[in-house]
Structure 1
């Protein structure tokens, strides 16, 4: 049976050498006149500081092992995700923040509850070892799915305004008039994760799988965990897209079922 070797730990000297890869990327950008030098430099600095701070923060939360700081961190993550998603959905300055945040909250809660009670069987539901990593992974993917579905639905309604209004004039309800665009938006939001699932383990190795193997986990265990994560992401993305598109389309009509976009 395979036995993992000693875990390779990276010290600050090792991390310093890792910056060399970003330096090479910046040099290549300058050589090819891509104009990405400032963005790469900024992204490098932010990623380093944010992940370093995250490591210390999560370590502190692990030591506290109390639900209040754990839920506080997850709440901040949710609000930031909703804010970022809101900025990607353009609708004449109208805010979908509460729709997005509510959709993310409901979909994540449902998926995490399902996994915790039926699969992992946690004795303590707020265990930071499981709650924070799992919530963070599915929340990040759900955020992208919400942005894709909401943005595509708004564009579809704008580009097909006359067709929708024709349906309304013929007696269709707002839901009936935009059903095809709503379904298309949900399908588009699921394309990234479905494409990933089609080639996972063949063309690409997921970050979580690679991270666990590098951390010393048995590859078979890492595969099982990755399967669970992928299925969680699909369910959460599906629920999020359904809820977001439902909320967004309702904001496009007034109380008289007239299109206001």
Structure 2
């Protein structure tokens, strides 16, 4: 059965690829972008099947207006995919206040406003699926991406809590956690801080650890996303790529070992 899918950040990357995949199989798509010309090819091919909306997710009122337009146009919203966001590259000390605030504003608050906007619609329907595009960097961290890591850790905590609050309304929540992919995320859409030479070695080590095999092929994610959208009982967390799970297993093994080493101190701190 065809679904109505609302996807933010549909101008390029995962958003554009997934929007087209939904349209190809007959779903109705609400696609948002800051520049609607980036969606003109989809509009010319799929016509009334797609509703393009110009949107900056940082504008809370505009987010609510966009959801209303989508509901009025298609009658319902089955799936929200919060995909809008970008990467901020730079050591934490290098990051300006504006860069840090802009990163959190888009990656966290933009996602929060869109989530709040769609929840009344899904509660009224008694069903819905909110898919938050997080990152493996919301579970484990890499240097020179500190504020981006922080934004995705926030998305993880927000969304895990949300899942417990809305399950009784028939609404599912999934955190999609890709490892690196060859999208524009690290290219033209990324922001880079002014450098401090003291961190040159950290950045060199970071870059040296990247290989061609570290990055997946964006188009290869389509089948996984279609399966997720169609799942009757979707998971809370959903990795994309072959790098994420082995790395997270290693990170959590190290965390558990450290916690065990300090457990007697932790227990004593309880006081009774």
TM-score in terms of structure 1 length: 0.27
Tell which structure's C-alpha radius of gyration is larger: 1
- Bigger helix fraction: 1
- Bigger strand fraction: 2
Higher relative CO (Cα under 8 Å, sequence separation at least 6) belongs to 1
